[in-house]
Amino acid sequence: MAEGLVELERLAQDGLRVRAAAGAGSCRRGPWPEKLLHDAEARVTALKAESERDPAAARERMKELQAERARRTKTHKQDTAKQKEPRASTTDAEARVMKMPDGGYRPAHNGQFAQRSANRGDCRSGYRHHWLGSRPDRAHAGADRQTYGLSPKPYLVDGGFTKLEDIKTAHPTSIEVFAPPPSNKHATDPFTLRKDDGPGTTAWRQQMASAKGKAIHRQRAKTECVNADLCNRGLQRLLLRGRDKVRAVLLWFALVHNVMRAAALRIAAATAAAPGRSVPQTCQATA
């Protein structure tokens, strides 16, 4: 940014599901955490030797999953009824069973990367379902405001991140949210203004209903290229467990990506400043 190579003008965010360091057979349903904990208490010495298995952590994770399902039942009753009982892993309690790109279901972590939405820009890593909120250290837009002293203006996210609470919070900070509407079980026009809409949600519905807003949101597709770069550099399966360690791995991959992009942008800038010199093929593809 200091060199004028990139601007924090427009950000796009996408998730990348990465295989967790947990076996597929470690995820189970029902009251098994209680049974495992009861058995473990009877043989404390063996439990210390088997540090990778933590029934207590799995039990607590199961409680969180059940509470999350109870909350979703209130707003997505039919969808929740179709789902099976939640599972938690005994080897990585914070991993979730997710549908992977190949169609299979395995324990994974969903890392979030925000990028400057033009030309495979620089990226930042995170780990949360809300992109803006009360935790600036875990929210991209909040982190940018805290670190750089400014916030992105357009912020592009997919349907899984359409949270009215975040949209309302973003509006006073001049962040324009470009996100598709959530699923509507009433089959009504999601862009029709509601009585309880505030200035933020009103502006969001109006801009996403316009052709210009839809065209801007389509730029989010460019984030898939960054995800592909990260996968090609080895971000395919995690070797560490727990969100804190996973977040550290994602941060390292984001830093490596930014170093590579900085090198390409500097070469392109130097080439443009020297008439008669041709741009290297690698720069033509990435700059």
pLDDT in tens, 150-174: 666 788 888 777 778 888 888 887 7
pLDDT of residue 271: 87
- Which of 14-28, 103-117, 139-153, 201-215 has the largest mean confidence? 201-215
Predicted confidence band of residue 134 (pLDDT cuts 50, 70, 90)? very low
pTM given for the model:
0.66
Question: 223-251 b/e with 16+ CB inside 10 Å = b?
Answer: beebbebbeeeebeebeebbeebbbebbe
Instruction: Provide the pLDDT for residue 117.
Output: 59
- Residue 10: pLDDT band (50, 70, 90) is confident
Calculate the average pLDDT of the chain: 76
Quick one: pLDDT at residue 36? 75
- What 3-state DSSP class applies to 93? coil
Which of 70-84, 174-188, 263-277 bottoms out in mean pLDDT, i.e. has the lowest?
70-84
Highest mean pLDDT among 5-14, 147-156, 250-259: 250-259
Residue 63 has pLDDT above 70, yes or no: yes
What's the whole-number mean pLDDT along residues 90-112? 87
Backbone angles phi, psi at 65, to 5 degrees: -65, -40
Distance CA 123, CA 114 (A): 5
What pLDDT band is residue 138 in, cutting at 50, 70 and 90?
A: very low
Residue 122 · residue 140 · CB < 8 Å: no
Q: What is the mean pLDDT of residues 89-112?
A: 87
Confidence of residue 123 (pLDDT cuts 50, 70, 90): low
Strands 154-156 and 176-178: parallel
Contact predicate 172/166, CB 8 Å: no
Q: Kindly state the average pLDDT of the residues 9-15.
A: 80
Convert the pLDDT of each residue in 220-239 to its tens digit.
888 888 888 899 999 999 99
The pLDDT-based confidence of 118 (bands split at 50, 70, 90) is low
Q: Quick check: 120 pLDDT over 70?
A: no
Query: If pLDDT is split at 50, 70 and 90, which confidence band does 137 have?
Result: very low
pLDDT confidence of residue 287? 32
Task: Name which of 24-28, 48-52, 168-172, 234-238 the model is least confident about.
Answer: 48-52
